[in-house]
Structure 1
């Protein structure tokens, strides 16, 4: 970086500032939480001035919302959009790849206002995630796809919360429970004769 690319006090400016701010928010919000992260700290980690930060984001609320929007905008496409896996296996694959520390749950816990943009995003995301599970359960010919989708969504959220609180991985146990739920919900005649991902 040349001296011309630096602003006052040596802070970087111009190109990439927005991405650096979002990168800093991802690091700091994830490591220490939203409420414990101040704007001065975000600016320091991003290498921008407060003026630059406010040129890109009207305030912390807007930054929090954009931070969440970037996590999984297409609802786990690396699982749900796979054409090489039958629907039953996609339902189980979610437990292999789902983030153990769900940022949407963390944001909803930290932010009390139900109308806050981050809370609205978290709620919308969780509903959309359950809908993708239900849609996949329907493709797998589950007896009650809505019920199975909700059960798996609840199991995922529980595993994520438990992993966060106990600082341990609860997803192996959740995956075993999910396999039982899926086996009970999908008639054997409808289940494809393929090996599970866990074999």
Structure 2
């Protein structure tokens, strides 16, 4: 097998990712994932002990690319921390305008598993969201903003709230509005620093 070919496990996760994101985790059977991956259910269960393990793998493979995308959007944006934060929301709004956009995989999975708080996917989703909060806090702290941890939490609340509302209304303008609110918060924190407060 050449190094360019995905492993069987990677094929399974790729098939699961496409189906789970597109249709939801409860709507997709293990049989459907095996068929999409072009292998037997037995082979799938050789690599994953249960559907729960497969759901966890689906989220794990999305975690670092998502965070890297946000970091890139922030780094590539011009201006100060407030403008860069707003740019993250504007980029999300652009993504949300694509027909294939189905919202945040972590939030959607958490909603589907709300009655199972100990599920591995819930833990992965919680850790992922915490990673975003920690990244924003470290970024704001590096910019010299006061109360960086609280500011990061506020921005994450706006971020996740916008995911939910855009999914409901199918209107990315809500994400842009959340970006304006985030800009206002971060800008106010910047002004407090400049004023020496």
TM-score (norm 2): 0.80
Instruction: Determine the structure 2 residue equivalent to 1:184.
Output: 188
Instruction: Determine the structure 1 residue equivalent to 2:109.
Output: 107
Structure whose alpha-carbon radius of gyration is higher: 1
Structure showing the higher helix proportion among its residues = 2
In structure 1, list runs of 5 or more residues that go unmatched: 1-13, 191-199
State the secondary structure of the residue aligned to 1:73. Answer: helix
| 8 A contact 2:16–2:33 mirrored in 1 | yes
Higher RCO (CA 8 Å, separation ≥ 6 residues): 2
Q: What does the per-residue CA deviation read over 1:110-165, in whole Å, with 9 as the maximum and x for residues that have no partner?
A: 11211110000111111111111111111222222112101100000000111122
| 8 A contact 2:145–2:190 mirrored in 1 | yes
In structure 2, list runs of 5 or more residues that go unmatched: 97-102
User: Which deviates the most, 152-161 or 130-139?
Assistant: 130-139
Aligned positions, number: 178
Instruction: Determine the structure 1 residue equivalent to 2:134.
Output: 131
Shift of 1:18: 1.8
RMSD over equivalenced CA pairs, Å: 2.5
